[in-house]
Structure 1
Amino acid sequence: MPRKRLCLLGVLLLLTGYLSTAGAQPARALPDELWFDAPAAATLTVEDGRFKDGLGREVVLRGYNVSGTTKLKEHRGLPFASVADARKSARALRALGGGNSVRFLLHWAYAEPVRGQVDTAYLAAATAQMGAFLDAGIRVYPDFHQDLYSRWLFGANSWYTGDGAPRWAVDLGGYPDEFCGICLFWGQNITQNEAVKRATYDFWHNRHGVQDAFLTTAEKTMTYLRQHLTPAQFAGVVGFDPWNEPHSGVLDPGQTSRTWEKDVLWPFYERFRARMDAAGWQAKPAFVEPTLFWNANIGFQKEEGGFLDVGRLGPRYVFNTHFYDQKAISGIFMWGKAADGQYVTDFGTVRDRAAATGTAAVISEFGHPLSGGVSDKAPTVLKAMYQAMDSRVRGSGWWTNPSGSGPVLSGQQWQWDIYNGRHRELMNDNPGKVQTEGDAWNDEDLSAVRLDDSGTPVLRQDARLLDRVYPSATAGSAVAFTYEDRSRDGATTLTWNEVPRSLPAVRQLVGSGQYALLVWRSDGSAEPTELHLPASFPTSATTVVSDLGVTVSPPAYTRATPVAVASEPGGTGSRRLLLTDADSGTLHYALVTNGATAPPATLLDAARTELSTWTVAQFG
């Protein structure tokens, strides 16, 4: 049976399940014109090195980590104090932050507080909070999070703390008192704290069967999620991240980080993959992370890795990595601020490693401190990171080399914590060290959101930076993409991708506004290509110039409308641009801007002519 007919059949079957298993959501038929908003559209697989939804469209996942609160005892290892707070956060993440996905943190210590006994009350609470995001139309991949192996390695008066393994796993080890020496940053404990190093080593070598216990708990957790989420919700769970930021702890004699990754880390992932299959997650990929420092941008910290010796991962795995600019965070190795193209090489390496391993890539953590001595770099660092996820070509060279863009990368910013600045965490259970500021964990402060005095979520960063245009679903394949967000660094507007003077009509149309340009090759789909529309792109101020049509204030979507707008799934008020043409192999383009007010038809026609000529010249 042809793929499109299979997709349509899947939509009908899944839609039936959706309408009959909506749980607390009121049962209602989908409007005929939004027939593609069924669980099939939420289902995600890996195909030809890209994420694909159940309708065959190329998908980009953008969003946040939810949340570092899981590391704390304050809410018993959960991201939220209640399901109501989870719903509030999910709505804000969609409507304010522009996210369509989250990496949802779980805590092993709370899932298995007693060896061999899974706490179903914890799993029930986590499942309900996860469901709040799924009901808001947000895709989820859970992550069993750990940092510095375990909080139980640290005493009441320690300078730092950890999270992850339960107390019983630490008690088995007989580890020395933790001590990091001269550690200016908590991450130095990974390589300098003997207790952390030894406990980490023991986990990877399954001493006392601790790795076996973790895998058993992971399987039970995944089974619980599959059984207690509705079919429609479970369709939106896109995979699982087995272990956060893996590091060897201690290498065996003659071993290198590269051979450790091949001989120790990868077998663990294969064991985890088998547990996913046993739990009924056969169709969902494992989001596997290479050794932590494989892509560090400080030379003495960098380790060889990136799955160089594993071979092709294939569609059952996703190349999942983190990126923080340690030079910028250090305050020592980077003077000044980030600039146009700052990270295109770093993120290009991620694209290359994913392609070499035959799978899709996701940058599941990236970010920068929002307070402290280096916080002034945050606006430029984050803009440069988002820029590098959009394209591997710097802004100043994009219009002359768009074909070098590469795939649009998926990524989840660290982090989305509505309790930022309002925590009450007893650090290492010490009542004399109550943490309230920032993220309440090792002096970090990276949350993009907080609650105001009325309890309403508000952004802590420029909305123009966070709420972005991006191609959330492409009917075919994205060939090139760029977005000029015009975000601010203080009072300065950061413009790194000016429309060139060789395109005067396009330049005039965009003016000082934000703009995005997507070039894609169609595949004959009847489904629309979707771009997220930020709140800064209200319908009345949105202009689209495309080979599919030219429109000011795009109309509401119907199947017969090639350029239109619609709400995004989940009822949060967020919106999307829909571009539809059921041809095959045709190269399309669409410029989306909020820079024009009532532009005349002559200007729109001139801009379309310029873009059509430019597209032919650049792509043939």
Structure 2
Amino acid sequence: MMVMRALLVFILVGLPAVFSAQPAPAAAAAAPLLTDAYGREITLRGFNVSGSAKLYENGLLPFRSTADAATSAAAMRELTGANAVRFLISWEGVQPAANRIDTAYLDRAAAQIRQFTDRGIRVLLDWHQDLYSSHLFNQGSWYTGDGAPQWVIDLGDYPTESCGICILWGQNMLTNNAVREAAYDFWHRRDIQDAYLLQARGALSYLRSRVAYPMMLGVDPFNEPFDGGLDGAAGTTWEATYLLPFYQRFRAVMDETGWADRPLYAEPLVFWNTTFGEAGGLSTIPALGPRYVFNSHYYDGARMTLDPSAAGDGTYTSAMNRIRDRAAALGTAAFVSEFGNALSGTGSSGRTPWMVRAMYQGLDSRLSGGTFWNNAANAGGVLSGTQWHWDIYSGKHRELMNGNPDKVRTTGDGWNGEDHSVIANGALRLDRRVLDRLYPTAVAGRTLAFGYEDLAREGYAGAGRQQAWMTVPSRLPTIAALVNGRQYGVLVWREPATPPGAPTELHLPGAFPSARTVVVSDLGAVLGVAATGPIAVATEPGATAARRLLLTPPVAAAGTVHVALVVNADGTTPITAATLTAARTELLSWAAAVTW
């Protein structure tokens, strides 16, 4: 979670289908990418559903009913083009008593999951915890947790919890002895970890036949692992000694329960990639390979605590590239399962729109917008990720914090004072241009470069400055004029040795009307996209209005480089056939001059 990361930075500074991995060529290290059943490279984009799974009012699930899950899935698909969610469940929900797996809880979870898979949205199953357990906290506490059930806490002898002088809830990981000792026991006591794996075995066995398994991405076995005490060792040593063996044991459980062909999404120690310092990152362990995914979170701890500056072009390029490079070193695909920023209530929330915009830019490409056109050969692969988070009950909760009837939480996320949901009252809270993005959902070949100019404004509800980040150099005057003041994206990909038998697909944002979408490509150049042909538009699977762009090149030799410029030409400025022809000439010359 975002606040957790912010606190860690504050402490460090202020206090002493079958998804396989294939290497992608780039000048810098590039993580292998996820592929679908056709062998196409896929990009996953969507949201966590949701922090509401931490709340007892929701029965420790993202939604209070299957109908609410259906409403949420439909809205997400239509408003943002999301094709993936990270779906939260908890140990306490699965195993409320030592001798019982709650199949009714799992049935409700499965029914909610199916509402997403029925709409073409893939699902990553996430066993979520924060501060280990709510049962470590007393009724008068300022904070709470989620994860382990009461009977697990009863196995230990923990001190009365106290965070001390706490600035943010995540500080409990470092200063609350009850939280620290309970987490320490999880990693050191075989009986507790065996109980965790037992409930995971029961849950995965039960869910295997009750969900649309081909739409399941895999399993995140433990959200934001933290040590509870390093015993004087480095974070990397702790990962190798305790975290990796846990992942290997959980991997075996997946194999035993019918999930052998789905990867385990392995998170590093939560302190990694926090803007300041280095702690963990699975950087001293052997390569994990394609049966794992390197699964990182990213929050801008500096801007959430000490740095008053706004985000801009290229702000998060370096941080996202660290995730790419770490995954490449581990021989895995990369996934960013949490990122974002608060929408209210913090010193940085006024800067959130462009912070989130810059994070998506970092997912799209290794490059800043200002360097893309001149350095596209180094753009690398597109990162997949799920933003935190999508809570249809935002601002309408009624959670008794730690069971205290005198501490009823109704605002924001209803949990530890957070307010991160991008949706409330059925409407998006951020500029839709930030969230409903052009992106390559499936590439029939090898992605060489992708970049997107969303033109999202710096304020909320479309307020504030509009500034283009992905600027076109003057040596490409027709393209520069064509995209001036318009949203646009460019995709470059290489023809594979064996054609996948399916087109390259990009999600087409709702702001791009089919009749006024320009596509300039080696496949042709059109103003207005028809339902058939090498450049075509179709409805997204499981959607009613959301659309995708289909690019089907003619038979070409392996290694052929394809390129497509996609422009939202909505408005009154005319675009002539001569402009399209000139833009195509420029684009093909540009692509031919790059050493891919």
Q: TM-score range by the shorter chain?
A: over 0.9
Residue 233 of structure 2 is aligned with which of 255, 258, 269?
255
Give 1:428 deviation, angstroms. 0.6
**Aligned partner of residue 571 in structure 1, secondary structure:** coil
Amino acid at match of 1:393: L
Give 1:308 deviation, angstroms. 1.5
CA contact (8 A) 1:45 1:284 kept: no
2:501 equivalent to 1:556: no
Which position in structure 2 is the counterpart of 1:615? 591
**Aligned partner of residue 406 in structure 1, secondary structure:** coil
2:135 equivalent to 1:152: yes
Matched residues, percent identical? 52
1-side partners of 2:536 and 2:419: how far apart?
39
Which position in structure 2 is the counterpart of 1:216? 198
Which position in structure 2 is the counterpart of 1:284? 262
Unaligned 5+ runs, structure 1: 1-41, 452-456
Residue 103 of structure 1 is aligned with which of 86, 89, 95?
86
2:408 equivalent to 1:434: yes
CA contact (8 A) 1:526 1:580 kept: no
Q: Please give the residue correspondences for 1:6-21 in structure 2 after superposition, counting only pairs within 5 Å.
A: none
Q: Please give the residue correspondences for 1:438-457 in structure 2 after superposition, counting only pairs within 5 Å.
A: 438-451=412-425, 457=426
2:118 equivalent to 1:135: yes
CA contact (8 A) 2:77 2:543 kept: no
**Aligned partner of residue 448 in structure 2, secondary structure:** strand
Structure 1 residues 572, 44: closer, same or farther in 2, change over 3 A? farther
Q: TM-score, normalised by structure 1?
A: 0.89
Moved more, 53-62 or 520-529: 520-529
Which position in structure 1 is the counterpart of 2:513? 538
Amino acid at match of 2:313: D
Amino acid at match of 2:91: W
2:313 equivalent to 1:340: yes
User: Deviation digits for residues 101-140 of structure 1, max 9, x if unmatched?
Assistant: 0000001101100003100000000000001000010000
**Aligned partner of residue 180 in structure 2, secondary structure:** helix
2-side partners of 1:116 and 1:618: how far apart?
62
Residue 208 of structure 2 is aligned with which of 202, 212, 226?
226
CA contact (8 A) 2:522 2:563 kept: yes
Which position in structure 2 is the counterpart of 1:394? 368
User: Deviation digits for residues 9-49 of structure 1, max 9, x if unmatched?
Assistant: xxxxxxxxxxxxxxxxxxxxxxxxxxxxxxxxx55333442
**Aligned partner of residue 204 in structure 2, secondary structure:** helix
Give 1:199 deviation, angstroms. 0.2
Which position in structure 2 is the counterpart of 1:58? 41
Which position in structure 2 is the counterpart of 1:8? none
2-side partners of 1:554 and 1:595: how far apart?
12
User: Deviation digits for residues 530-568 of structure 1, max 9, x if unmatched?
Assistant: 0001101120121100001111111114xxx21101111
CA contact (8 A) 1:204 1:211 kept: yes
**Aligned partner of residue 509 in structure 1, secondary structure:** helix
1-side partners of 2:390 and 2:99: how far apart?
32
**Aligned partner of residue 492 in structure 1, secondary structure:** coil
1-side partners of 2:424 and 2:364: how far apart?
26
Give 1:191 deviation, angstroms. 1.0
Which position in structure 1 is the counterpart of 2:182? 199
2-side partners of 1:374 and 1:318: how far apart?
31
2-side partners of 1:391 and 1:46: how far apart?
19
Amino acid at match of 1:441: W
Give 1:87 deviation, angstroms. 0.6
Amino acid at match of 1:595: A
Q: TM-score, normalised by structure 2?
A: 0.93
2-side partners of 1:336 and 1:236: how far apart?
41
Residue 340 of structure 2 is aligned with which of 363, 367, 370?
367
1-side partners of 2:276 and 2:294: how far apart?
22
**Aligned partner of residue 255 in structure 2, secondary structure:** helix
Residue 272 of structure 2 is aligned with which of 275, 287, 294?
294
CA contact (8 A) 1:45 1:283 kept: no
CA contact (8 A) 2:53 2:90 kept: yes
Give 1:598 deviation, angstroms. 4.6
Give 1:595 deviation, angstroms. 3.0
2-side partners of 1:316 and 1:430: how far apart?
43
Give 1:379 deviation, angstroms. 1.1
Q: RMSD in angstroms over aligned alpha carbons?
A: 1.2
Which position in structure 2 is the counterpart of 1:412? 386
**Which one has more relative contact order, counting CA pairs under 8 Å at least 6 apart?**
2
Which position in structure 2 is the counterpart of 1:606? 582
2-side partners of 1:46 and 1:537: how far apart?
32
2-side partners of 1:95 and 1:499: how far apart?
31
Give 1:502 deviation, angstroms. 1.6
1-side partners of 2:501 and 2:560: how far apart?
14
Give 1:488 deviation, angstroms. 0.7
CA contact (8 A) 1:552 1:598 kept: no
**Aligned partner of residue 123 in structure 2, secondary structure:** strand
2-side partners of 1:566 and 1:327: how far apart?
42
CA contact (8 A) 1:133 1:140 kept: yes
Amino acid at match of 2:205: T
- Count of aligned positions: 561
2:396 equivalent to 1:422: yes
Which position in structure 2 is the counterpart of 1:578? 550
Residue 245 of structure 2 is aligned with which of 267, 270, 280?
267
Give 1:206 deviation, angstroms. 2.3
Which position in structure 2 is the counterpart of 1:462? 431
2-side partners of 1:163 and 1:401: how far apart?
45
Give 1:435 deviation, angstroms. 0.6
**Aligned partner of residue 589 in structure 1, secondary structure:** strand
Residue 485 of structure 2 is aligned with which of 512, 534, 537?
512
2-side partners of 1:224 and 1:538: how far apart?
44
1-side partners of 2:99 and 2:250: how far apart?
17
User: Deviation digits for residues 506-532 of structure 1, max 9, x if unmatched?
Assistant: 112112110000000011333100000
1-side partners of 2:466 and 2:206: how far apart?
48
**Aligned partner of residue 348 in structure 1, secondary structure:** helix
Amino acid at match of 1:329: M
CA contact (8 A) 1:563 1:580 kept: yes
User: Deviation digits for residues 475-531 of structure 1, max 9, x if unmatched?
Assistant: 001100100000011321132112222211111211211000000001133310000
CA contact (8 A) 1:136 1:572 kept: no
User: Deviation digits for residues 426-457 of structure 1, max 9, x if unmatched?
Assistant: 11111111111100111111111112xxxxx2
Which position in structure 1 is the counterpart of 2:157? 174
Which position in structure 1 is the counterpart of 2:298? 323
User: Deviation digits for residues 134-171 of structure 1, max 9, x if unmatched?
Assistant: 00100001000000000000011100000000010011
Give runs of ≥4 in structure 1 deviating > 6 Å. none
Which position in structure 2 is the counterpart of 1:36? none
Amino acid at match of 1:268: F
Give 1:223 deviation, angstroms. 1.1
2-side partners of 1:477 and 1:94: how far apart?
26
Give 1:216 deviation, angstroms. 0.9
Which position in structure 2 is the counterpart of 1:565? 537
2-side partners of 1:194 and 1:183: how far apart?
13
2-side partners of 1:526 and 1:605: how far apart?
29
